[in-house]
Structure 1
Amino acid sequence: MNTTLNHSDHPYSDLLPDIVMDAVEAQGFYCDHRLYPLNSYENRVYQVGVEDRTPLIAKFYRPGRWQQDQIQAEHDALLQLKEAGVSVAAPIVVNDQTLFHHNGFDYSLTNKLIGDVPEAGNLDHLYQIGELIGAIHKASTSWSLPERPYASNLSRIERASQQLLKDSCFPTSLQTEYVKTIEQLLLASKQTVERSNQNNVRFIHGDCHRSNLILSEGLMTALDFDDCRMGYAVQDIWMHLSDANERQAQLSELIEGYESFCAFDTRELDLIDVLIAERTIVYTAWIAERWSDPAFPKLFPHFTGKAYWEQHLADLNRILDDWGNWR
Structure 2
Amino acid sequence: MSIATPYANLTPDLVLDAVGACGLWPDGRLLALNSYENRVWQVGIEDGAPVIAKFYRPGRWSDAAIAEEHAFALELAADELPVVAPQAFGGRTLLAHGGYRYALYPRRGGRAPSLESAEQLQWLGRLIARLHVVGSRAPFEHRERIDRATLIERPARAVQASPLLPPHLADAYRAAVRRLDEAVTARMEAIGPLRQLRLHGDCHPGNLLWTDDGPHFVDLDDARTGPAVQDLWMLAHDDAAMDALLEGYTSMRDFDPGELAFIPALRAMRQVHHAGWIAARWADPAFPAAFPFAAEPRWWEQHLADLHELADPLG
| Length-normalised TM-score, structure 2 | 0.95
Counterparts of 1:149 and 1:314, CA distance in 2: 28
Which residue of structure 2 lines up, in the alignment, with residue 167 of structure 1? 162
Deviation digits for residues 222-269 of structure 1, max 9, x if unmatched?
A: 110011111111111111123xxxx11010011111112211111111
Which residue of structure 2 lines up, in the alignment, with residue 81 of structure 1? 76
Which residue of structure 2 lines up, in the alignment, with residue 318 of structure 1? 309
8 Å CA contact 1:154, 1:186 repeated in 2: no
- State the superposition RMSD in angstroms: 1.7
Q: 1:270 aligns with which of 247, 250, 261?
A: 261
**Offset, 1:7:** 4.9
Counterparts of 1:219 and 1:311, CA distance in 2: 39
**Offset, 1:115:** 1.1
Which residue of structure 2 lines up, in the alignment, with residue 55 of structure 1? 50
Counterparts of 1:24 and 1:118, CA distance in 2: 31
Are the structure 2 counterparts of residues 106 and 9 from structure 1 closer, same or farther at C-alpha, using a change threshold of 3 Å?
A: same
Counterparts of 1:8 and 1:276, CA distance in 2: 29
Are the structure 2 counterparts of residues 144 and 23 from structure 1 closer, same or farther at C-alpha, using a change threshold of 3 Å?
A: same
The answer on 1:296 being equivalent to 2:291 is no
Percent of residue pairs identical: 39
The answer on 1:200 being equivalent to 2:195 is yes
Counterparts of 2:179 and 2:144, CA distance in 1: 27
Q: Give SS of 1:303's match.
A: helix
8 Å CA contact 2:115, 2:241 repeated in 1: no
**Offset, 1:323:** 4.2
Letter in 2 for 1:72: A
Counterparts of 2:44 and 2:128, CA distance in 1: 31
**Offset, 1:123:** 2.4
Which residue of structure 2 lines up, in the alignment, with residue 157 of structure 1? 152
Q: 2:242 aligns with which of 221, 242, 251?
A: 251
Which residue of structure 1 lines up, in the alignment, with residue 41 of structure 2? 46
8 Å CA contact 1:234, 1:268 repeated in 2: yes
Gaps of 5+ in 1: 1-5
The answer on 1:115 being equivalent to 2:110 is yes
The answer on 1:147 being equivalent to 2:142 is yes
Are the structure 2 counterparts of residues 314 and 181 from structure 1 closer, same or farther at C-alpha, using a change threshold of 3 Å?
A: same
8 Å CA contact 1:57, 1:111 repeated in 2: yes
8 Å CA contact 1:198, 1:268 repeated in 2: no
Letter in 1 for 2:292: P
**Offset, 1:106:** 0.5
8 Å CA contact 1:150, 1:201 repeated in 2: no
**Offset, 1:199:** 3.3
Q: Give SS of 1:234's match.
A: helix
Q: Give SS of 2:172's match.
A: helix
Q: Give SS of 1:48's match.
A: strand
The answer on 1:18 being equivalent to 2:13 is yes
8 Å CA contact 2:3, 2:59 repeated in 1: no
Which residue of structure 2 lines up, in the alignment, with residue 209 of structure 1? 204
**Offset, 1:86:** 1.1
**Offset, 1:103:** 0.2
Counterparts of 1:63 and 1:21, CA distance in 2: 19
Are the structure 2 counterparts of residues 260 and 8 from structure 1 closer, same or farther at C-alpha, using a change threshold of 3 Å?
A: closer
Q: Give SS of 1:287's match.
A: helix
Q: Mapping of 1:172-251 within 5 angstroms?
A: 172-242=167-237, 247-251=238-242
The answer on 1:92 being equivalent to 2:87 is yes
8 Å CA contact 1:154, 1:189 repeated in 2: no
Are the structure 2 counterparts of residues 279 and 269 from structure 1 closer, same or farther at C-alpha, using a change threshold of 3 Å?
A: same
8 Å CA contact 2:81, 2:130 repeated in 1: yes
8 Å CA contact 2:184, 2:311 repeated in 1: no
**Offset, 1:163:** 2.6
Counterparts of 1:219 and 1:84, CA distance in 2: 16
The answer on 1:285 being equivalent to 2:276 is yes
Letter in 2 for 1:274: A
| Length-normalised TM-score, structure 1 | 0.92
Counterparts of 2:16 and 2:22, CA distance in 1: 10
Report the more deviating stretch, 229-238 or 310-319.
310-319
Letter in 1 for 2:92: Q
Report the more deviating stretch, 288-297 or 182-191.
182-191
Deviation digits for residues 291-321 of structure 1, max 9, x if unmatched?
A: 1110001001121110110121122122234
Q: How many residues align?
A: 315
**Offset, 1:202:** 0.8
The answer on 1:67 being equivalent to 2:62 is yes
Counterparts of 1:138 and 1:65, CA distance in 2: 28
Counterparts of 1:171 and 1:149, CA distance in 2: 30
Counterparts of 2:63 and 2:120, CA distance in 1: 35
Q: Which has the higher helix share?
A: 2
Which residue of structure 2 lines up, in the alignment, with residue 260 of structure 1? 251
Q: 2:31 aligns with which of 9, 31, 36?
A: 36
